Structure 1
Amino acid sequence: MRFFFLLVSLIALPLGSAASTVLLSHSGSANPTTQGWSRASTSNVVAGAYNDNGREVWRVYDAGLTTSANNLNYSGTLNAATVASVMDSGWELSATLRVPEDDPDHSIAMAAGSNIWIGFIINETDTNRRAWAFMFGRAENGDTLVSTYGSGTPRTLAPGYHDYSMVYDPATALVTVSIDGEFWKTYAGASSSSNGTQQVYWGDNSGQTSTQPGRAAYYESVQFASVPEPSRLLLLGLGIAILGFHRRRGNRAIHS
């Protein structure tokens, strides 16, 4: 009977993440370049430490009002072996940030786009790339807009800081997208016919093809980690093996 309860206990073990490994991280108002990130920028976007009513963050500000190639982003390059490992075991991209309703202007709407961005991009093949990313904007009333790159209608959130997460499952090749710890959707990412650096990057990602209003984003944290999970089948197999061993011992006792 003891072995029966052991088997049930093994099967019922939670499948929470095993020991994850943080590969890239930004926190607070520290300069990201001191935390392992590389900076790429033009002269029209600025960034710096910022105190948001007692909350220490890193502010990225794009003055907009132009169609030139404005950008300022922070990237962490991953080598081929690391990318292969996280795609095989699983990964999580997470961030806490605010799209302020009054910086630089009140009541100015801006579409959710790549001028406020957090993403992970890999080379699936020599001629195909895949990206998983959050893109942000602001509604006219100050609400935060968030969308996933290449997929779906933006979601509207109340103004303020929110926690965003994408967790990749190698068994399904999909990510689970959560906001403030609540499930939003599953997402396959978006592909393109190109090849380039495999990286996590965030900030003001790209220039615009039309005149844009000024915009800011307050990044409190950005993190990319490998998140291998134990297999329930492994636990089940272990339980069955223990139960089988117990039965064999019982059979030997009966025939001895």
Structure 2
Amino acid sequence: MTTLDRLARPGIHETRILEQFGERALWRGRNPMFNHPLYLLAFVNRSGSNLLAEYLRTAPPFAGFHEHLNHDTVARLAVQLGATSFPDYLRLLGETFGSPGRIFGYKASWDQAAMLFRFGIHRMYRGVRVIHILRNDTLGQAISFHIAAATRQWTSAQEATVSTNVTFHGPGISELIDSIHFGNQAIEELAHLFNTPRLRLLYEELVNDPKAVITRIGRFSGHDLSTWKPVQPSIRRQASELNDDLRAAYRAYAVKVFDGA
């Protein structure tokens, strides 16, 4: 199955939101509701999107960049906000949780970004801008995901909810590596499909020089963020000796597979 074939298939978030709103999930308006572009922080799990989102929320003119597109969050907040449609939900999010004069952005996985285009949400805005964060170290990213999935500790702010030891599973980590590559390819292809500007950022660069990364985002969005100064993030790196042990185990496993053992 090609990347385009998979992009054409609704994911779990799209399916559940359609079940919730039906035709009211779609934007039918002829003119944009907002006078600014839709900003999407596109990511694959464990790419550093939470760190970048936290920095963006301290950089005018941005706000938001939480995971408001998750179907369970939509189901809960739509009722809380009194949203009558999915476009209405997006409007109310910005009005309720945003700040005056700031652009309310969203974190979006590849399937959530595809959902927004399929729902016509991009036509609510004056264009779309994709801020795409990736990791150079995809093996490290896959191992991080493997650990987080086992412990249910997705950020350092959360407590691990599974006390069992994390076990090595070579085929599972290999599948995660492929999934990461696919997710990033899908985000890139979606941006090409809709002729959407995409800024490619590396997690490693964000860690080493957050000011330079935010300044680049400022240029990308047409805002001068050269005076922005990074604050101490509330989350921290979670890597430990366990990550190193799993990396060594995977390399040994991969060499055996490669050699046909």
- TM over 0.5, shorter chain: no
Name the one with the larger strand percent. 1
Q: TM-score range by the shorter chain?
A: under 0.3
> TM-score if structure 2 supplies the norm length?
0.24
- Bigger RCO of structures 1 and 2 (CA < 8 A, at least 6 apart): 1
- Rg larger for: 1
> TM-score if structure 1 supplies the norm length?
0.24
